[in-house]
Structure 1
């Protein structure tokens, strides 16, 4: 390489020389001429540039992160623009009808992907959303999932990559490369085998979560030799593909696209052999639709979908805005897809909600208002199909683990007296009412999947109600009867559930005394 193109190095500190040329209130650290000089030296004489960099570090005028960024502008111009990775798309020359475009997208996906129509309609809306990510305030994740391999997950991910804006499809990516890639290129990130990826890079989950809303789409990392805290923008569309469920924090920010293995009678065309002109045409039409409708979609505030939780409604906000702007039957199709996909999602409650539901069923089954902790736990682990029987690495859940789980809902054990037994910790039914109302949906079964059986005193206090009169209130002290020689009557409050009240009022009294 010829040295005549390199500006001579005079030995003067270039940082200090630059400062002398700047006015006192200037925010810039370099003049354009000096910046160009440093970029040229960096490109043509790395050794000389290393000496200059050392001078810059010693001067402490700026961080090495900032120094490297400024001097690398020309060197990485092509890379930062992503010109080698992403093909520029020429918008369609004519105005695009939104409803027809979405119909075409859904129909095209159906040619190559076997899935329910709601999944394909949601995928078509999400692919359109990637072209409008700069004008919306919520960035939902597309979560492609299936219970088993060979259900077409990767096929749908690849198809979305052929439709999305600036697609960057990867099977694995280092955490540091993840946030740098998003800030550098603003791609639509498509990650396959997300289950394996998150198992190896747990800290990447926070980066993916952070990009859900524009206000929170920033992560701070220490970079450079001096470990300078630096903000990285992680705003951008993301699609995750994998087997089974993902972390609840990610699932909560996602549009669920559920896949299933096709039957012998279901057919799909080979995506790998598809005509590239088909996808180029669709991308061009998407570009034109986004160009013409970006302002309207960015300002849209669609009505929420009744029955969906707040986070699910947030996820669907940009997709509903697109559907309403497109018009035709798409507003109805979009809302139907949301209710079907998230309705299915509601059938798989979180582990905490499942615990609350099982405890509610146990209180109903036993028609009691109080349970000792050991008895409640015994009833929980009695069901071998429930997770509690193998909670502790194949062993039953422990009392401490039960207490920890319930404490997260503000429920704590207390000293109880049930019948003649006292001085043991347990729970009252009233302790759970608020949590049941907050975390169990109206359609959550109040009974477990195990049929109700006579308890035969298993995992339950041996003391039953001794009279047919109204139950004694908890606040009243236990009294012995005057004429029957009964030592004590169990203190009980009426069960809160109507079913329990009905059962309590009709159960036979055997007249047993203690």
Structure 2
């Protein structure tokens, strides 16, 4: 180890080091800090030796010491790194918020195929990124589609042209992720999120933590001495991937569902779009946020009846924006929320699905008690249920069943049927869980919510290539004979306990032109 630097006996730095045992802030007195910063800037070798001396005292966090001794020149250099974000000049005059949102929606509709609810939700979310400093909830934009080539990456790129401080981070580790959020407060745009989270499972906790402002902090050990250090992870995030994301992320998201283009549908190439269009929209968004941030920050929209608490939380800032701009947007935003989250709500969690199948098993045998083996036999007999292949292609085990049911406070016990006494379950022990999680309006996984849309271009947006506004003279009706494709699985009689699917409410008369 190198010898500690030798300073003059009266050196303020040496005196401060000597006093650390009695005064932990001695080295951070203004005059001492100034001398440390000067040494670090002009004589890095001397500073390195001094740093060893400070570390050996074991009185300070070296991460904090390193941060506070950065010179003004170094700080300026770090600030210059923020130039990765293009400067946006706010529009020279106040903007009409409803007209702005219509224009953003129309710009997105020119490049992706989606229902108007998805496009309007995307426009509201893009606007929210300019107001992230005044709202209390930061919903994730979850861009999803059932298959490849549905335009997910195109929508993510288009949002990148609209949002405040966009940062594409598809290939980034968790450590760089939370440091980037704290340093730059960007709007994160993460493509192929399924592969990203598979490689970086720790990143999911970082993304989850940024949902509410008061909980947007993660603690990580940093520095040579591994001092636990808080990092702020508050900010806007957009995720793009195929299929469902983790429930914890989906719960904090606004789902933006896309579909594959058919031969009768056309879109413009985003790479060939006019940069001036996106620049103008960003400028207008910046001005809108500047003029309306105070009102939107104070807004407390009334929750939407029928949505769960987390979905209402996600829509709070979007509804605040919609209510502020007025015109058709308050109604359109709520219609979009019901349509998008109504669809998402049709798939119960694995736990609720298991409860439904357990209830069906008891009912099919008209039993009040069942041995564990008999209950498992009944569960795995259903080819459409996941239990037959639950254990890496093999049937669910008794231990796995017990662990899942324990989440609901249900445990196996010794039961007697006839002359046989074995481990099993009493139906009465499930009564509370059935009442709480399998109510009459619990969605069934065996039916797909009806849509009032065909697979053709039924949106009220103009064709991207023809340049003609197409309005609906006769709004579509949710009829089985007019563009409404109802997909219903044939549900075995034993699975009636899952409840009935709730129909999604759509506003069939709200058909604005853009």
- Shorter-chain-normalised TM-score: which range? 0.7 to 0.9
How far residue 214 of structure 1 moved from its aligned partner, in angstroms, is 1.1
Does 1:348 find its partner at 2:347? yes
How far residue 184 of structure 1 moved from its aligned partner, in angstroms, is 0.6
Contact kept in structure 2, 1:15 and 1:59, CA below 8 Å:
no
Contact kept in structure 1, 2:209 and 2:217, CA below 8 Å:
yes
Does 1:306 find its partner at 2:328? no
CA distance in 1, matches of 2:335, 2:351: 28
* Cα distance change on mapping 1:189 and 1:81 into 2, 3 Å: farther
Which residue number in structure 1 is paired with residue 317 of structure 2? 318
* Cα distance change on mapping 1:52 and 1:309 into 2, 3 Å: same
Which residue number in structure 2 is paired with residue 16 of structure 1? 14
* Cα distance change on mapping 1:300 and 1:384 into 2, 3 Å: same
Which residue number in structure 1 is paired with residue 245 of structure 2? 246
Contact kept in structure 1, 2:347 and 2:445, CA below 8 Å:
no
Contact kept in structure 1, 2:143 and 2:241, CA below 8 Å:
yes
What secondary structure sits across from 1:163 in the alignment?
Answer: coil
Does 1:65 find its partner at 2:63? yes
Which residue number in structure 1 is paired with residue 424 of structure 2? 426
| CA offsets 1:448-481 (integer angstroms, 9 cap, x no match) | 7655569xxxxxxxxxxxxxxxxxxxxxxxxxxx
Which residue number in structure 1 is paired with residue 468 of structure 2? none
Contact kept in structure 2, 1:80 and 1:184, CA below 8 Å:
no
The aligned runs of 1:431-470 (5 Å cut-off) are 431-440=429-438, 442-444=440-442, 452=492
* Cα distance change on mapping 1:49 and 1:369 into 2, 3 Å: same
Contact kept in structure 1, 2:41 and 2:71, CA below 8 Å:
no
TM-score normalized by the length of structure 1:
0.81
Which residue number in structure 1 is paired with residue 368 of structure 2? 369
1:42 to 29, 40, 43: 40
Aligned residues: 450
Contact kept in structure 2, 1:365 and 1:452, CA below 8 Å:
no
How far residue 371 of structure 1 moved from its aligned partner, in angstroms, is 2.4
Contact kept in structure 2, 1:357 and 1:446, CA below 8 Å:
no
* Cα distance change on mapping 1:122 and 1:11 into 2, 3 Å: farther
CA distance in 1, matches of 2:27, 2:332: 54
How far residue 446 of structure 1 moved from its aligned partner, in angstroms, is 7.4
The aligned runs of 1:13-412 (5 Å cut-off) are 15-17=13-15, 29-32=27-30, 34-74=32-72, 75-80=74-79, 82-412=81-411
How far residue 416 of structure 1 moved from its aligned partner, in angstroms, is 2.8
* Cα distance change on mapping 1:14 and 1:163 into 2, 3 Å: farther
* Cα distance change on mapping 1:202 and 1:101 into 2, 3 Å: same
Which residue number in structure 2 is paired with residue 417 of structure 1? 416
The aligned runs of 1:499-510 (5 Å cut-off) are none
How far residue 235 of structure 1 moved from its aligned partner, in angstroms, is 0.8
CA distance in 2, matches of 1:191, 1:31: 42
| CA offsets 1:12-50 (integer angstroms, 9 cap, x no match) | 66533557999x999674355554443344344432221
How far residue 414 of structure 1 moved from its aligned partner, in angstroms, is 2.8
CA distance in 2, matches of 1:122, 1:133: 16
Which residue number in structure 2 is paired with residue 474 of structure 1? none
CA distance in 2, matches of 1:317, 1:97: 21
Which residue number in structure 2 is paired with residue 489 of structure 1? none
Contact kept in structure 2, 1:109 and 1:159, CA below 8 Å:
yes
Which residue number in structure 2 is paired with residue 472 of structure 1? none
Contact kept in structure 1, 2:151 and 2:259, CA below 8 Å:
yes
* Cα distance change on mapping 1:212 and 1:64 into 2, 3 Å: same
Which residue number in structure 2 is paired with residue 464 of structure 1? none
Which residue number in structure 2 is paired with residue 501 of structure 1? none
CA distance in 1, matches of 2:391, 2:379: 13
* Cα distance change on mapping 1:51 and 1:111 into 2, 3 Å: same
Contact kept in structure 2, 1:360 and 1:446, CA below 8 Å:
no
How far residue 293 of structure 1 moved from its aligned partner, in angstroms, is 0.9
Which residue number in structure 2 is paired with residue 463 of structure 1? none
Contact kept in structure 1, 2:376 and 2:398, CA below 8 Å:
yes
How far residue 367 of structure 1 moved from its aligned partner, in angstroms, is 3.1
How far residue 198 of structure 1 moved from its aligned partner, in angstroms, is 1.0
CA distance in 1, matches of 2:220, 2:272: 42
CA distance in 2, matches of 1:373, 1:114: 49
How far residue 386 of structure 1 moved from its aligned partner, in angstroms, is 1.2
* Cα distance change on mapping 1:26 and 1:327 into 2, 3 Å: farther
| CA offsets 1:419-474 (integer angstroms, 9 cap, x no match) | x34413322333223212222353346797655569xxxxxxxxxxxxxxxxxxxx
**Segment drifting more, 295-304 vs 56-65:** 56-65
Structure 2: segments with no counterpart, 5+ residues:
447-488, 500-514
